[in-house]
Amino acid sequence: MIKNKIDLINQAKYKFEELLTNSTKELDFNLNYIKQLYDNHTDFINFIKIMNIYEVYRWTNLKFDYNFIKIKTTKDKKIIYGITKFLNSLTNYYNQIEIDNINFRIKDISYKIELMVCTFIKLQIYHNNITNKIRNVIKNNTIIKINNINDANKNLIQKLYENYISIKLINIQYKKLRNLRKQLLFTIKN
């Protein structure tokens, strides 16, 4: 009887440990995904500005990814409640050092949740701004609209991306040279 209870407690502790570990991994995944999605939005809008081409399929994918992380973020910000509820049922079975370690991990998870929510809000604002810009792009007849990639336009799109990357690299070099010029002029003046 006591052995069964001890086994149940150890199983619960193991599940709680898994919950902490998985929660940390999920929150790290969310943070990375949000940051990547933010960068993808930036790249998408820069491509439109530089190349004067709007890729409808790419915008559809960005909206899908945005909605995915929106749902996941909403769900995962409630993780802490499940953790604390689970911990309350196990507190009597841990020693003080273990409780201190668990509290440290819970604070880390709580911090990651706050960071995830703040980062997502930043993405949300950015996504809405880009959505407004896309409405103007759709109305603009001077911007080329590509609905999807197929065999007919695949090589053309690949060449456009090669040109886009070249332009981005040239812009980076230009900024570096401009900054170097400013530094040299400042040095000469001093």
Cβ contact 77:31 at 8 Å = no
If pLDDT is split at 50, 70 and 90, which confidence band does 18 have?
very high
If pLDDT is split at 50, 70 and 90, which confidence band does 146 have?
confident
What confidence score (pLDDT) does residue 153 get?
78
pLDDT tens digits, one per residue of 20-40: 999 999 999 999 999 999 999
DSSP-assigned letters across all residues of 78-136? THHHHHHHHHHHHGGGS-HHHHHHHHHHHHHHHHHHHHHHHHHHHHHHHHHHHHHHHHH
Residues 69-96: what's their mean pLDDT?
Answer: 89
Through-space distance between the first and last CA atoms of the chain, rounded to whole angstroms: 85
Cβ contact 36:106 at 8 Å = no
pLDDT tens digits, one per residue of 86-135: 888 888 888 889 889 989 999 999 999 999 999 999 999 999 999 999 99
Q: For residue 180, give the 3-state DSSP assignment.
A: helix
Q: Give the residue among 73, 45, 9, 27 at the shortest CA–CA distance from 129.
A: 45
Angle CA(178)–CA(179)–CA(185) in degrees, nearest 5?
A: 90
Provide the whole-model pTM: 0.84
Cβ contact 55:156 at 8 Å = no
Distance of alpha carbon 165 from alpha carbon 38, whole angstroms: 18
What confidence score (pLDDT) does residue 27 get?
95
Cβ contact 115:78 at 8 Å = no
